[in-house]
Structure 1
């Protein structure tokens, strides 16, 4: 009988520009075989690595448990990330914190110390963390094999200033609620808990279209409703931008969903953030999109979703 390898939780740190940056690393004591895929998780505003684990009821931990991937939850500077939005007044941006360098250093540590596979590094970000992942896509795409962005949309050009942007395409997945009170699904002004504007953004659909164009996809997308076991206050549609020989883009629209991460466990407060869909497992869908597991949780034997 096959036994699930033991998961170990470790605290790690790296020095960036005189600042100690921290992360929580979940890894198998013995990699399933050779090197292991890497998943970096970037929390939202006012969160930490510990907070997003609690916020998601540890659901991203299961990506590592099922696939053998190393899952690293990174801590932002004073609970925020220096994303590429010009209208971002957090200390991470006003103090010019180099979070791109932190991401690179985290990847290097995970490859060296935990036998991570540098060709299978994936980034997941929620809200401000999703904006940070968008910055990574534009600045260090060669370091990533794929990205998943939750409750965040692409900023309009005048509010987006990545350093030395690059055009390399990547597989990108989005999850966004139509009733998100912080980052509007239809686009417009993003606000931190309904105040402290963060600048204008595209709609969720326009965001997916932006990354589809970036990936060279010219065919029209297809939209498929996901059928839930029981009818409820929320439902999910999947819009798939797919074209042969081009990295895919997928948008999961959570009708009636708020500024939350859909998942089977009921652990997200509805106050302020809005409603959470419990028929869709974001972590499972992300793992499958990255090519790490099948929908049943089995580990796949293919190297990467990168093309």
Structure 2
């Protein structure tokens, strides 16, 4: 069907025309090759003085509003490293996925300004929290998003930014999840309680479980502040969410879960501790791509065997339990 015929079918539906124009742009982008992994379509928005981009995978069905999941790649990665981890889940659950792209030396290498890390985004003082806010606004105009079910997750440097976004945009974020990320100790107080899930491997050689400067040289050079231990981040969110109940600890094969309850607004804090876990997205065949790309070899610390959990499954289950 030509673009003119598509437009003609809705010429009498004024309220549908803005979304039609967006869809036509997406079709043009797809035909011009501006697509990412799993058929996600590239979008460009202006944030301050910069043109920023993200991949949009809209798998929703029907007219009812659906959840939006924002997925942040690791330092040195790109949206194409995150979309494959979520594409099957998006299509099964009818989700909208937005994968923003960081700032880097090339189109395929992006970093995020999480204050203490990493690289070019920090050096340039890029406001990545404002970028994520703009992505939420842009996607909300283009898709039927439920504003009470907006979620964010990130890996490594993307997890560091996830902490910052949850702190600053807690009035819009229904829940957040961090995989192999860290905090730095200079964070502001959270604006409002946000349910938080933290997943981290004890053998992580890139973002160390016990904090400090990275044991991986090129990452340490991208830091401006030492990482705080993973326990610091868990306790930060326990305090921010007003959790008063003693954490319930459950031992499973290959991992331990710690669930904090008695939190304000049911904003629980859940921590997955993987004793043999390295710097990866558990359950993903591409989990170590970021590390390998920069010469890190076959592993980023930890056992190279099957992961005891699938991070995407765990995170989506956590998100499903929380609505703002």
When normalised by structure 1's length, the TM-score is: 0.80
Q: Which runs of 5+ in 1 are unaligned?
A: 1-6, 228-234, 293-303
Q: CA RMSD in A?
A: 2.2
Match of residue 221 from structure 1: 247
More strand by share: 1
Structure 1 position 151, deviation (Å): 0.5
In 1, Cα distance between equivalents of 2:42 and 2:242: 40
**Structure 1 stretch displaced more, 98-107 or 243-252:** 243-252
Match of residue 25 from structure 2: none
Where in structure 2 are the equivalents of 1:25-104 lying within 5 Å?
Answer: 25-28=56-59, 31-53=61-83, 58-78=84-104, 79-85=110-116, 88=117, 90-104=119-133
When normalised by structure 2's length, the TM-score is: 0.77
Match of residue 238 from structure 2: 212
Where in structure 2 are the equivalents of 1:239-278 lying within 5 Å?
Answer: 239-243=258-262, 245-263=265-283, 265=285, 268=288, 271-275=298-302, 277-278=306-307
Q: Which has the larger radius of gyration?
A: 2
Conserved? CA contact 1:131–1:152, under 8 Å: yes
Q: Which runs of 5+ in 2 are unaligned?
A: 1-37, 105-109
**Structure 1 stretch displaced more, 199-208 or 114-123:** 199-208
Q: Higher relative CO (CA 8 A, sep ≥ 6), structure 1 or 2?
A: 1
Structure 1 position 153, deviation (Å): 2.1
Conserved? CA contact 1:216–1:246, under 8 Å: no
User: Residues 52 and 8 (structure 1 numbering): CA distance in 2 closer, same or farther, change over 3 Å?
Assistant: closer
More helix by share: 2
Per the alignment, in what secondary structure is the counterpart of residue 278 of structure 1?
coil
**Structure 1 position 125 matched with structure 2 position 154:** yes
Structure 1 position 272, deviation (Å): 4.8
**Structure 1 position 189 matched with structure 2 position 213:** yes
**Structure 1 position 175 matched with structure 2 position 199:** yes
In 2, Cα distance between equivalents of 1:90 and 1:267: 21
In 2, Cα distance between equivalents of 1:253 and 1:259: 13
Conserved? CA contact 2:75–2:118, under 8 Å: no
